[in-house]
Amino acid sequence: MEKDNKPTPKKINLKIVGLIVAIVIVVGLGIWCGLNATKLGDTFKFGKFGKTFSIFMIVFVIVGLGYLLGRVTIKGISLGTAGVFLVAILIGWICTIIPKDIPLIGAFGIDESDLGTVSTVFGGAFQNIGLILFVGAVGFIAGPNFFKNLKKNFKTYILLGAIIILSGTFVAVICTLITPYGPEFWSGVLSGALTSTPGFTAAQEAAAIELKNIITLGHAIAYPFGVVGVVLFVQLMPKFLKVDMAKERALLKTGDEEVREQKKGLFEIDLLGLGSFAIAIVAGLLLGSITIPLTGEGYSGPCFNLGTTGGVLIMCLIFGHFGNFGKLSLHIPSSTLSVFKEFGLMLFLLGAGFEGGVNLVTEIANAGGGAIVAWGFIGGAIMTVFPLIVGFFVAKYLMKLSLLNNLGSITGGMTSTPALGTLIKVSETDDVASAYASTYPIALVLIVLASQLMIVLM
C-alpha cells in the first residue's frame, strides 16, 4: 500500500489568532476615536457611566499592566503582585498631567476637584477592602499553627519586632538632627519606609494642623521604596545564602493535619465559607475600633487602637485556630482563602499606589522644591534597609531562627503586607504567615508610639 505523501496541514495556534484579533480591535477603536475626536468634542462621556467608567478603566489597565510587570523575572527575582503598585503610581501621576479639555483622554484627567474622589475610592475603599481580605485570609491560614509557633518563639518575636522598629526610629531621629527638616517630616518618612498606615495616622494626630501636609509628603516619598525594598529583600536573601528551600520548609513547625480538616457534624453557613469569613471580619473590625488613651489627656491626647489590619488579623487567627464555635463551622476552604489573599493584596497595592502617585505630585508642588524629595527618598531608603539588615542578622546569629521564620518575622516587623505575599510565593508555604502574625502586633504598637513620640518629644 502506498503511503499518503500529502503534507500534514499545520494546526492553527488559537492563542496567536486571539492576540491578533484583540490587537486589531484595539487599534481599530483607536483609529475610530482619532477620526471622530473633533465630532465628539467635550460631549463625549463614555455612555451613561461617566466618572465610574473612567475609574473602572483605570483599575483594569493598572491590574493588567501591573501583573505583566510583575511577571518580568531577572535572575530569578520578580516584583510579583508589587508590580501592580509601581504601575498604579505611574498611572496616578500620568492622570494628573492629562488636561481635561482633550477629547476622550481628558476623561481620565485628575485635578484638585477630583482629589476627594481619589482619596475616597482608591485611598479608602480599595485599600481598606484589600487589607481586610488579605489579612483575614492570612489569619485563617496561619490560625491552626499560630499559637504553637507563638508559644515556642514568643520572646524572640517580641524582641525582633522591637529591634526592627527601634532601628528605623534611630535613623529617623538622626535625620531629624542633621537636616533642616523637622520631626513631622521624618515621622512621615518613617511610617512610609515601614509601610505603616497606623503609624502615619498617629503622626497626623500628634502634629499641628498646619504641619499635617509635610507628614503626608514624607510618607508618600518613602512608601514606594518601603514596599519594593522588602519585597526584593525576601527574594534576594535566600538566593544570596543559596538555601535549600525544601529543607527550610521542613524546619517550619507545622500543625497536626486533623486541625486543618473540617470536623464532621458541624453546621456550615455556605460551602465557600463566605459567611464564616464575614463573621470573623465583623468581629475583627469591632476589636480594631477599641481605642486606648496613651496619656493622661484621655481621648483628646494620643491614643492607640489595632485598626482595621490588627483587629481583623487577630480575630481571624483565633477563628482559624479553633475552627468552629459550638456546632457552627468556621471552616473556610483553602481555595477561597487563596483567592481572597491574592485579590486583597492586589486591591490594596492598587489603591495605595494610585493615590500615592496622585498625591505625590501635589505634595511636592506644595513643598516647593526637589531637595526635600531627595532627602526624604535617601532617608527613607535607609530606614527601610537598615532595619532589614539588623533584624535579619540578629534573628539568624543571635536568636538562631530558621530562614523562613526569620523572613516571616521580618515582614511582620516591617508591617509589610506585600512582602508577606511575596514570601509565601517564594517559600511555597503559607506557614510563614505564623511568624508574620506573631511579630506584627508588637511592631504595630511600637511604630504608632514612635511616630507620635518623635513629634511630641522633638
Give 394's pLDDT tier (boundaries 50, 70, 90): very high
- Who has greater pLDDT, 294 or 400? 400
Give the per-residue pLDDT at 430: 81
Give the per-residue pLDDT at 343: 87
| pLDDT per position as a tens digit, 200-217 | 777 776 777 667 778 878
Rounded percentage of the chain residues whose pLDDT exceeds 70:
80
What the block records as the C-alpha cell of 152 is 515556642
| Cα–Cα distance, 260 to 141 (Å, whole number) | 9
DSSP state string for 84-121: HHHHHHHHHHHHHTS-TTSTTGGGG---GGGHHHHIII
Please state, in angstroms and as integers, the Cα–Cα distance from residue 297 to each residue in 170, 293, 294, 301, 307, following that order. Answer: 27, 8, 8, 5, 21
Give the per-residue pLDDT at 23: 67
| pLDDT per position as a tens digit, 85-101 | 888 888 888 888 887 77
The model scores a pTM over 0.85:
no
In the chain, what are the domain boundaries?
53-76+111-457
| Cα–Cα distance, 439 to 225 (Å, whole number) | 21
| Cα–Cα distance, 287 to 270 (Å, whole number) | 25
Give the per-residue pLDDT at 46: 44
| pLDDT per position as a tens digit, 217-262 | 888 888 888 888 898 899 889 888 888 888 888 887 654 444 445 5
Which residue type, as a one-letter code, is found at position 377?
A: F
What mean pLDDT comes out for the span 392-410? 90
What mean pLDDT comes out for the span 364-382? 80
DSSP state string for 182-226: -HHHHHHHHHHHTT-HHHHHHHHHHS-GGGHHHHHHHHHHHHHHH
- Per DSSP, the three-state class of 329 is strand
* CA atoms within 13 A of residue 259's CA, in its CB half-sphere: 16
| Cα–Cα distance, 202 to 216 (Å, whole number) | 12
Give the per-residue pLDDT at 386: 95
Rounded percentage of the chain residues whose pLDDT exceeds 90:
10
Give the per-residue pLDDT at 143: 79
Give the per-residue pLDDT at 359: 76
Say how many residues make up the chain. Answer: 458
Give the per-residue pLDDT at 105: 73
